[in-house]
Amino acid sequence: MTNTGFYPGSFDPVTYGHLDIIARAARIVDHLVLGVGIHHGKRSLLDAGARITVLETVCSPISASTGMNITVATFDDLAVDAARRSGAGIVIRGLRDASDFDYEVQMGQMNAAMAPDLETVFLAAGPATRMIASSLVKQIAQMGGDISAFVPTEAKTAIVKALKK
């Protein structure tokens, strides 16, 4: 039986921090569905199509090296409903610091109340990437800074293109 995990996020853009969590998830699940959240009313810099293309490209080497099947899906409803639709029994979330811990555990517990059939698994961020946040990456890029240390080339290219629009 395939053990499927669902990793929801904005991925606007995907960072080396997300990729670290995705690689760690390969030790737990053999199929990972990346859920790209489309929030009505929350403006993203990259549109859904760009986020999906970048994720598929940068995750393909992780899939090849770990053997974990990775697919990408958008969702605009509850993460627990999207996780169930994808056939996942596990929701993956990353923890960078104490503020992530407080927020993520609260959300995990509310999700557990709504969906007792799903288990949220929290993976600690790697020490080299735990400081990276998509929101800061966008701010740095908007001010002309170099984001190469934080995101893969494909994400940087997509961000630069989106900022020119």
Q: What is the CA radius of gyration of the chain?
A: 15
Active site residue 134: yes
Instruction: Say which DSSP state 156 is in.
Output: H
Q: How far is the CB of 7 from ligand ADP (least distance, A)?
A: 7
| Residue 11 makes contact with ligand ADP by CB under 6 A | yes
* Contact yes or no for 78/38 (Cβ under 8 A): no
Binding mask 76-115 for ligand ADP (x = CB under 6 A): -----------------xx-x---x---x-----------
Q: Which residue, judged by CB position, is nearest to ligand ADP in the bound state?
A: 17
CB-CB neighbours of 95 under 10 Å: 17
- State the Cα–Cα distance between residues 34 and 57, nearest whole angstrom: 13
Query: What is the residue whose two structure tokens read 């170099």?
Result: 146
Among residues 4, 5, 18, 32, the one that binds ligand ADP under rule CB under 6 A: 18
- State the Cα–Cα distance between residues 117 and 111, nearest whole angstrom: 10
| Residue 13 makes contact with ligand ADP by CB under 6 A | no
Chain positions contacting ligand ADP, by CB under 6 A: 9-11, 15, 17-18, 20-21, 93-94, 96, 100, 104, 125, 129-130, 132-134
